[in-house]
Chain A
Amino acid sequence: MTMRNFNDAQEYLDYGLRNLWHPVLASWEVNDSPVGITRLGDNIVVWRDEDGKVHALEDRCPHRGARLSLGWNLGNRVACWYHGVEVRFDGVVEDVPAVASCPMTGADCVKSYHVQEVQGAIFIWFGIDDSAPDELIFPEQLASDDWSSFLCMADWKVNYQYAVDNVMDPMHGTYLHSASHSMYQGDRQADMSLRMTKTGFVFEKEGQTGVNFDWVEYGQTGAAWLRLSIPYQEKFGPGGSFWIVGYATPIDKDNTRVFFFRCRNVQGWERDTWRFLYRNYLEGLHWDVLEQDRIVLELLAPDARDHEFLYQHDVGITRLRRMFKRAAENQFGLYQAYQKSKENVDVVGATIHPAE
């Protein structure tokens, strides 16, 4: 199995932290044929079997390296388009039809991923080693039936750390989004404070809650998420503020897929009315706001993070960067050790002794 090499902890971090569930696709993106994606720099093939269950493997045929996502969906396995090599969902080569007997048959040749499909999204566990994944726990807005939600996805041509910084910066709402449907209120100055929670921390404007984009929370519960709430105008119906639970999944070091679940505490006819309005009116308004973020981020100065002058509003950003840096240093060491442990093991699990 091939694994990516990183030169240092910063390069490792630029491709995304592991030992986490990351959302990778919306459910509706995986139909009848395999889908080839890149997430955290890994090429991955994702497909759905006859029962609708989703599977994910490294997108590389062990024979010659063709992308398995170009091949046949055979239910519990995919077959490479190049020479028909069949790889099962667990990474074991089930058949090499081009030859009568092949040592590759029965060997575990391809990295397989743990997959969960939940909340209309497909989550993959990016583990450093072969340990079992953590439990994926959602914030209340996604976990509770009192809430209703829609997933919005977008691919941005920017490293995911910029997308995270953007959400960790509540002050930008008053300026960048001042001409939006939801963030036109609030003081254009604020003092910010930070408080720890059981799963992360909250960064907020002091004394302005419920006015604009006033606070943001970082949490880590099997996946790394960001949460915030933004007031809705009364004309968009009952239910009060809408909430966002967001995930920024690295595609590679220059591209990010953002997953924003837009949630509202609504039930009964109020829920149905919000969902109807969202599909036929609100989704377009929300998209316009998201485009403002995308435009600013994609057009930032080259290597913007290396030439910053941060001030008091950026305490949330600096705190989270420190947490990420520490996690990356720790994970980079674990990753290197795991890779080394696999160096002299062949595909059938036997230790290879280099020729004396």
Chain B
Amino acid sequence: MSDFNIKLKNWIEKKPNPDAGINNIQIPGEVEHIVWQHRSHSPTKYELSLAHNLIEAFTGGAKSLSEVVKALNEQGMLLETGDAFTEESFKAEMARLGY
């Protein structure tokens, strides 16, 4: 089973298709489940690591923005650029990845 949603990926460029006979018919009872409905690519190592470290930060009691950033830095979690997180860069990174 795919770890991302291929249809979500395709949806980004939606234009009327000039071809017929594509057969996009959903037959009742013929089910293809999609678990990861909201991501259009497999998660990168960086994304998985950031998710793991965030959960660790929250588990440790971090609540405010400064506490979360402090916890990430203490855990050694770095931005993809190799820089440590600041409050501003963390907010920007979450805005990018948490659209």
Binding site for B on A (CB under 8 A): 26-38, 47-50, 52, 67, 69-75, 79, 81, 150-155, 157, 234-238, 251-252, 254-255, 268-269, 271-281, 283-284, 287
Contacts and interface: CB of A to CB of B under 8 A. Distances in A.
Contacts of B54: 237, 273, 276-277
B29 interface: yes
The 9 closest A-B pairs by CB, nearest first: A272-B98, A36-B25, A272-B94, A276-B98, A275-B98, A32-B17, A28-B11, A235-B59, A33-B22
Interface residues of B, number: 50
B39 to A, nearest CB: 5
Interface in B49-84: 50-52, 54-55, 58-59, 61, 63, 65, 68
B7 to A, nearest CB: 5
If over half of B's interface residues share one DSSP class (helix, strand or loop), that class is named, otherwise mixed; here it is loop
A280 B39 contact: yes
B36 A284 contact: yes
A151 B52 CA distance: 23
Given A33-B19, A49-B16, A70-B25, A236 B94 contact: no
B20 to A, nearest CB: 4
Contacts, number: 146
Interface in B1-54: 5, 7-8, 10-11, 14-29, 31, 33-39, 43, 47-48, 50-52, 54
A30 B11 CA distance: 7
Contacts of B35: 283-284, 287
Contacts of A153: 34, 37
Contacts of B19: 33, 72
30 contacts: A26-B37, A28-B7, A28-B8, A29-B7, A31-B7, A33-B19, A34-B24, A35-B26, A37-B26, A47-B16, A70-B21, A70-B22, A81-B21, A150-B38, A151-B37, A152-B37, A153-B34, A234-B58, A234-B59, A237-B54, A238-B58, A238-B63, A251-B28, A272-B94, A276-B94, A277-B55, A279-B43, A281-B51, A281-B55, A283-B38
A69 B14 CA distance: 17
A277 B63 contact: no
A85 to B, nearest CB: 12
A72 B36 contact: no
Contacts of B27: 38
Contact of B26 (A36, A48, A273): A36
A69 B25 contact: yes
A27 B11 contact: yes
Given A52-B14, A70-B21, 15 more contacts: A31-B11, A31-B17, A33-B22, A48-B16, A70-B25, A154-B33, A234-B59, A254-B28, A255-B28, A273-B98, A275-B98, A277-B51, A279-B38, A280-B47, A280-B50
A32 B55 contact: no
